Structure 1
């Protein structure tokens, strides 16, 4: 999968979906978030990623442009940020080293993937806020996005935040032939792909859905009724709550 192509396509879809829309329109999937703030947030995120790469470390507050300049609208801010980050990432091979916030992947490929998914998720937010049909997410993108939210956000970000679950539990996540096993509890959270389907039988519960539905559910954009759940509902509720803390 070419994440640069995904990022380029999704950034343009996001911008096109926001054209002519009042910025105060709320995002149905994220109460408290509106269309204008989402556009600004994505444009700021592109610039923050650029500073990570250029500085070789996490940028401090004030070291990147967080808001449009005076006289610059949010859509121009978004598009110029997308163009800059696409140019920067396109000038380097995926495996070329650079600073990131995930110790396991310190290269430009991390940012290609991370920004592609960031843009895709928020593109669906913008379309929901605009009241237009939420466009499809390609299956290969969605499946990779499921892996990213489980391994990077649940399995890493929660540890960085020092957040723990209250009870030890396993939840299997199934998307067609792909299965992940998540473990949450007082000793931290982790997630990994299941190679032997029999290993998933140790789970206390299982959540199943098609790729795009699971992708959006894990990011908190869809309610439980959109996925199939079996087993211990408290274990699923704990996973859901921890994901909300990891991805907020």
Structure 2
């Protein structure tokens, strides 16, 4: 499966919800992550992040906030940043400070203003607000799951945007950059909340595009469900059976396997 893709097709596109909504969700998710981590021992294993503990997961989130800051300040991929809390600094403080510093930069600039990013299809400050919102959400779900808590849930509009980001950014861009492709040709329609995406993967092509739901439902395989269910399924955080799979189950399975490689 690990080889250079010969054809890559990606359509451009920012978020499918308003930037202000994502900014609001970003702050909410930071709070939920911290609240979830407070009730757990730092050494608690996180099953959805093999080898990580709760403390590792929270530190990771604080670290990526600093990566985003460095991208925005330096205008290029950073080589160095504060990867762990300072001596005597708690993981919670590390996350809160990273969030506050990043949010100050994001709030100062409009989401449509040009900025350095790692996705050529979206070179704006809004890219980072969106990316950090979804990274925080996924890891908040990880921490809640580690403690056996009931998930706090993901709002339908945020989850819908998360489906789009997972497919367009991670499958459509990150996967080919890693030099990965499918072992068999397969087309999958992904459907939720009246929207559709058409995903193709195989030895010759890696492609994804937004499309009408009706077109997505004509694919050889169709994955459908509520926005939260589809969102967490794409990120490998949902249980089997959380989404409906119709048609070519092998093609749907290949999509999920490739998503796991793209997002690891």
Q: CA deviation at 1:199?
A: 5.5
- Report if aligned partners of 1:154, 1:246 keep a CA contact under 8 Å in 2: yes
Which residue does the alignment assign to 1:158?
175
1:235 to 244, 251, 256: 251
Q: Which residue in the other structure is 2:56 paired with?
A: 37
Q: 1:100 aligned to 2:137?
A: no
1:49 aligns with 2:65: no
Q: Distance in 2 between matches of 1:29 and 1:221?
A: 7
1:224 is displaced (CA, Å) by 2.7
Q: Deviations over 1:86-136 (max 9, x none)?
A: 111011001111100000110101001111111111111111112222111
Let me know the Cα RMSD of the aligned residues: 1.3
Alignment of 1:10-21 (within 5 A): 10-21=29-40
- Which residue is 2:15 aligned to? none
Gap change, CA 1:227 and 1:84, over 3 Å in 2: same
CA distance in 2, matches of 1:196, 1:147: 13
Give 3-state SS (helix, strand or coil) of 1:226's partner: coil
- Asked if the contact 2:196/2:215 (under 8 Å) is kept, the reply is no
Distance in 1 (alpha carbons) for counterparts of 2:61 and 2:184: 35
Q: How big is the shift at 1:27?
A: 2.1
Cα distance in 2, alignment partners of residues 111 and 126 from structure 1? 22
Deviation of residue 167 (structure 1)? 1.4
Q: 1:220 aligns with which of 232, 236, 240?
A: 236
SS of equivalent residue, structure 1 residue 32: coil
Normalization by structure 2: what TM-score? 0.89
Give ranges in structure 1 of 5+ residues lacking alignment: none
Is 1:58 the counterpart of 2:77? The answer is yes
Aligned: 1:205 with 2:224: no
Q: Distance in 2 between matches of 1:32 and 1:232?
A: 33
CA–CA distance in structure 1, aligned partners of residues 237 and 176 of structure 2: 23
Q: Against the structure 1 CA distance between its residues 114 and 169, is the aligned structure 2 distance closer, same or farther, given a 3 Å change threshold?
A: same
- The number of equivalent residue pairs is 245
Task: Please give the secondary structure, in 2, of the residue aligned with 1:193.
Answer: strand
- Large movers: runs of 4+ above 4 Å: none
Q: Note the C-alpha offset of 1:196.
A: 6.3
Q: Is the 8 A contact 1:194 1:200 kept in 2?
A: no
Instruction: State the TM-score, normalizing by the size of structure 1.
Output: 0.95
Aligned-partner Cα distance in 2 for 1:172–1:76: 42
Which residue number in structure 1 is paired with residue 11 of structure 2?
Answer: none
Partner SS, residue 206 of structure 1 = strand
- The answer (yes or no) to whether the contact 1:29–1:222 under 8 Å persists in 2 is no
- Summarize the Cα distance change of 1:149–1:16 in structure 2 as closer, same or farther, 3 Å threshold: same
Higher RCO (C-alpha 8 Å, min separation 6): 2
